């Protein structure tokens, strides 16, 4: 179940959605999860613990999103994207008419922050290496998901080479993550981050029954 560390002096309203199918094998994400759980006022949801049967409680998740100012997606990059349960969460929870489309303004004005790891080193994300692209090439689906929901996509916090990085680098990264959570929204660069562009979806672009398959 989601956990919240409370402090009467804190009102950050942060919702961390953590998704890792194999926490025991994690060198970095597991420590990031624990760090988030230790920050006062942060609600943390371990998706694989909360929904082991993949039956997501959409209304409960929407309620958690509605009360958050910052939504954090915390997970390893798997096949250049998010883990399967995280993708199902996006599909089910960010519903048409609630998160986007006509009347879908529940997330408008909120911030979205990707905190992710890759197994390969940063140098592997290069046109002349085996991943063939700079890592930024894999970010548009995240950016556009946030934009369609009217959210501001904050610069991601990435950690490359999670399988082989020295422990000292992992420790420093975890400390940065915890500090960022604790200081939100008082980040030095926040005023320089552009507001989200409007991405209205015309009602004519959706079938009458929006659950109907295309």
In a domain, 211, yes or no: no
In a domain, 168, yes or no: yes
In a domain, 70, yes or no: yes
Greatest extent of the chain over all pairs of C-alpha atoms, in Å:
55
CA distance 155 to 112: 9
Of 89-103, 170-184, 192-206, which gets the smallest average pLDDT?
Answer: 192-206
In a domain, 64, yes or no: yes
CB 29 within 8 A of CB 75: yes
In a domain, 58, yes or no: yes
* Res. 24: pLDDT tops 60: yes
What's the pTM value of the predicted model, to 2 decimals? 0.90
CA distances from 156 to 72, 73, 159 (A): 10, 10, 10
CA distance 74 to 41: 17
CA distance 19 to 206: 30
Domain that includes residue 195, residue range: 3-205
In a domain, 32, yes or no: yes
Closest to 97 measured CA to CA, from 108, 88, 85, 105? 105
In a domain, 210, yes or no: no
Q: Provide the token pair at 130.
A: 């085996």
In a domain, 67, yes or no: yes
Q: How many domains is the chain partitioned into structurally?
A: 1
Per-residue pLDDT tens digits for 56-114: 999 999 999 999 999 999 999 999 999 999 999 999 999 999 999 999 999 999 999 99
Q: Provide the token pair at 92.
A: 């089910």
- Which CATH number belongs to the domain containing residue 133 in this structure? 3.40.50.360
Per-residue pLDDT tens digits for 120-132: 999 999 999 999 9
Residue 1's pLDDT is what? 67
Residue with tokens 């422990």: 167
Ramachandran bin of 13, using left for φ above 0, alpha for ψ from -120 to 50, beta for the remaining angles: left
CA distance 97 to 132: 37
């Amino acid at each position: 179940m989601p956990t919240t560390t409370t402090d009467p002096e804190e009102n950050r309203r942060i919702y961390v959605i953590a998704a890792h199918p194999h926490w025991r094998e994690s060198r970095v994400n597991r420590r990031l999860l624990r760090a988030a759980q230790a920050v006062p006022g942060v609600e943390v949801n371990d998706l694989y613990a909360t929904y082991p049967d993949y039956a997501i409680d959409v209304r409960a998740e929407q309620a958690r999103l509605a009360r958050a100012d910052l939504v954090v997606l915390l997970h390893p990059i798997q096949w250049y994207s998010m883990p399967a349960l995280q993708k199902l969460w996006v599909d089910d929870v960010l519903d048409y008419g609630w998160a986007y489309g006509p009347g879908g303004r529940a997330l408008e004005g909120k911030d979205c922050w990707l905190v992710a790891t890759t197994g390969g080193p940063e140098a592997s994300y290069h046109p002349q290496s085996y991943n063939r692209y700079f890592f930024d090439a894999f970010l548009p689906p995240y950016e556009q998901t946030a934009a369609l929901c009217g959210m501001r996509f904050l610069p991601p916090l990435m950690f490359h080479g999670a399988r082989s990085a020295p422990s000292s680098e992992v420790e420093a990264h975890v400390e940065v993550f915890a500090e960022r959570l604790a200081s939100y929204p008082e980040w030095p660069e926040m005023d320089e981050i552009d507001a989200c562009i409007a991405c209205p979806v015309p009602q004519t672009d959706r079938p009458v029954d929006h659950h109907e398959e295309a």
